[in-house]
């Protein structure tokens, strides 16, 4: 399992660094798709790296402690997938977090300007909802039908999945946590 951990960790660091550099050079419109593509492009690198590591007999015997070498392939692919989901989770908590955005904005304001009115001028609830709906429409989760917003098949699937997830984990949607 040691070779699997080393291979997946090195490959994950490589694809994450490459992805972040690419986003600084040329930001993608759909960041989730860009993350998925960079992850998929890293899989051949992982397979080559695990093959190279498994080819070193002294390393395999020291790190895998008698395990079947085929397990290192399974573990490395599994760990790579888990690192991908960890990165996606961290990315979306940072990118979409209103709390973190508020903290950074308050830090940037002079102390006498950090009153609620100045802070709230950029946080119109109507504008936030409108931007979020526009973002969901661009990503084909919703569409406008006259004056109403309706779920697309993709949005319907996601809504059902989220409802099921909330039920399984007994968690509340964000609006019910307040």
**pLDDT in single tens digits along all 178 residues of the chain:** 777 788 889 999 999 999 889 888 988 888 888 889 999 999 999 999 888 877 766 565 666 666 676 777 888 899 999 999 988 888 877 766 676 777 777 777 776 665 677 667 767 777 778 888 888 898 889 998 888 899 999 999 988 988 887 777 777 666 555 4
Of 78, 65, 69, the residue nearest 51 (C-alpha): 69
Q: Say if residue 147 is in the same domain as residue 88.
A: no
pTM, entire model = 0.60
Cα 58 to Cα 7, 52, 63, 65, distances in angstroms? 16, 12, 9, 11
Q: Which among 63, 96, 129 is the end of a domain?
A: 96
Q: Which among 96, 124, 154 is the end of a domain?
A: 96
Contact between 4 and 75 (Cβ < 8 Å): yes
| Domain total in the chain | 2
In a domain, 51, yes or no: yes
In a domain, 125, yes or no: no
In a domain, 109, yes or no: no
In a domain, 123, yes or no: no
Q: Say if residue 7 is in the same domain as residue 90.
A: yes
Q: Which among 61, 76, 96 is the end of a domain?
A: 96
Domain interval for residue 43: 2-96
């Amino acid at each position: 399992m040691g070779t699997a951990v080393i291979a997946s960790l090195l490959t994950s660091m490589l694809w994450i660094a490459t992805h972040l550099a690419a986003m600084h050079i040329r930001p993608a419109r759909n960041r989730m798709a860009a993350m998925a593509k960079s992850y998929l492009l890293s899989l051949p690198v992982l397979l080559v790296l695990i093959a190279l590591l498994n080819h070193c007999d002294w390393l395999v015997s020291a790190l895998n402690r008698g395990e079947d070498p085929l397990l290192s392939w399974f573990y490395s692919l599994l760990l790579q997938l888990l690192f991908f989901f960890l990165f996606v989770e961290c990315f979306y908590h940072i990118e979409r977090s209103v709390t973190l955005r508020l903290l950074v904005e308050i830090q940037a304001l002079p102390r006498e300007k950090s009153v609620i009115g100045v802070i709230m001028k950029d946080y119109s609830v109507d504008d936030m909802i409108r931007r979020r709906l526009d973002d969901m429409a661009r990503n084909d989760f919703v569409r406008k039908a006259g004056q109403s917003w309706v779920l697309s098949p993709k949005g319907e699937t996601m809504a059902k999945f989220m409802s099921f997830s909330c039920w399984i984990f007994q968690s509340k949607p964000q609006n019910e946590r307040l």
